[in-house]
Chain A
Amino acid sequence: MLYREEKEMGFKWIRIQTHVHTVHSDGGNTLEEMACAAKAEKVDAMLLTDHNTMAGGENAKEVCEKIGIDIIQAIEYTTFYGHIIALGAPYFRWEKIDQYNLNALAEHVHKYNGIIGIAHPRQIGDPICTGGTFNFKAVDFKKIDFIEVWHGVSNKNNEWENNEKFWLDIVKFGNDITCLYGGDFHKKEQFKESEAFNWMQISEEQSITEAIKAAIINGRVIMSKGPCFNMNIKSDKFSYSMGDTVEGEGKPFYNVCIEPVKNTFIGKIKVKLVDNIGVLYEIDYKEQDKLIVTLTENIERRWVRTEIIDSIKNELLAVSNPIFFKNNRS
């Protein structure tokens, strides 16, 4: 289902689940059953990420056509030192991956113009869930395209906060890695049980696989339980969207524009603009078409992002990927 289109840019927002298992590994349902469940929750596309196998993709095209949801073949390399999601590259002998050579897998994936990400870096690990925690060493994070910050059907034991800390610790060193939600669904019921999904802004000019890869690489992703919005910084010359880097314009101030996508802001909502230092701006949403926040220049600012909060439950409903600031990087 299509939502608001960015007609002048040729982009559209889609709902996507990026971490799904089937009976081809330890999931409880077939690909068709999972696709049906996804479709029922208005999901437009999903990545098939069975553990250490791509055999599930053999009938993916048939399921796509029958159910009407895009299924993109991916894989979750379930190694001893962490779980790594990859798409767009042939299988890599994961038994050759040791604790110190994750970079080799990343190089293999990128050689084929694929993308690679870290699943649930701070999920509980050994000995309860073997390899569940990210424990690779000597990782070049410039070779990593995304990290699951929101993960699983629900946030257990503050895992989402711990994943976010992991991501922020990498971002502060100048690695612009996209964050996204990985449901890690193993049963069809989990599509409904989890309230979360990703909004991804994809190009209408590309094939679905290429468009999703580009959206993830470029950070055009919102981790969400419903709200969708555009976030831009516009200057005289350029327009920056989420995932972009503002480079050295040397301006004394910037205007951040947040535009809710129609019918996705439901109930009593608060909009927060946040940077790496703290909260910059907070306002109750009153069905404005646009919110414009003027930020003064701050050399300590490395990124800015939008958070959407349920005012009644004080619950985080959506988080955008950041707009980064290059001049201010250490």
Chain B
Amino acid sequence: MERIYTDKIEINKIDNKTHKKIRFCTDKSYHKLVFEFQYSPKLVDKIEDIEEAFDSNELSSLKNSFISSEEKINNLLTLSLYCDDEYIGCAHRHNYVQIIEISESKSTEGFKKTKLVASAWELIISVHAAYSNNIQAVINIYAV
């Protein structure tokens, strides 16, 4: 398996509800592409971050119960893929470590089976929730 792309992106509270785009190209056919996507921290555990997350919206009355109890709020990033401008899919799941495989015969759930020829790829990291600063998102792409 050959790593053909790697990137690390820092996401902060100011990036909440934005999309980060990554573009890369493959110059030949492959049997399978493997996208390794992970981000951290998943849980928002700093009290000041929890306070700030609740202060700016209608649920501020719930703030104290989240600070004092076991319940936590999460940062949430998801990954969507386009190949030559065609939508391949999205892994809208709460796992903060995701391994996504794309091939002509089988793809990870959420993604269409796709023939892998030389193509222009677009990855969209959607920042559904960034309530912490310094969230580190890493993407590695491997080809087989």
Contacts and interface: CB of A to CB of B under 8 A. Distances in A.
A binds B: yes
Interface of A: 22-26, 50-56, 58, 78, 80, 91, 93, 95, 124-128, 130-131, 133
A23 B108 CA distance: 10
A91 B87 contact: yes
B128 interface: yes
Interface of B is mostly: mixed
Contacts of A56: 109-110
- Residue among A54, A125, A126, A131 with the most chain B CB within 10 A? A126
B90 A51 contact: yes
A151 B92 CA distance: 20
A54 B91 CA distance: 11
A51 to B, nearest CB: 4
Interface of A is mostly: loop
9 contacts: A23-B109, A26-B93, A58-B113, A80-B128, A125-B57, A127-B57, A127-B131, A130-B76, A133-B58
B59 A26 contact: no
B87 A93 contact: yes
Contact of A26 (B44, B87, B94): B94
Nearest to B126: A95
B54 A127 contact: yes
A62 to B, nearest CB: 14
Given A25-B110, A52-B78, A95-B19, A128 B73 contact: yes
Contacts of A52: 78, 80, 90, 92
Interface in B13-58: 17, 19, 44, 53-54, 57-58
Contacts of B90: 25, 51-53
A78 B87 CA distance: 16
- Residue among A23, A25, A78, A131 with the most chain B CB within 10 A? A25
Contact of A24 (B94, B110, B113, B128): B110
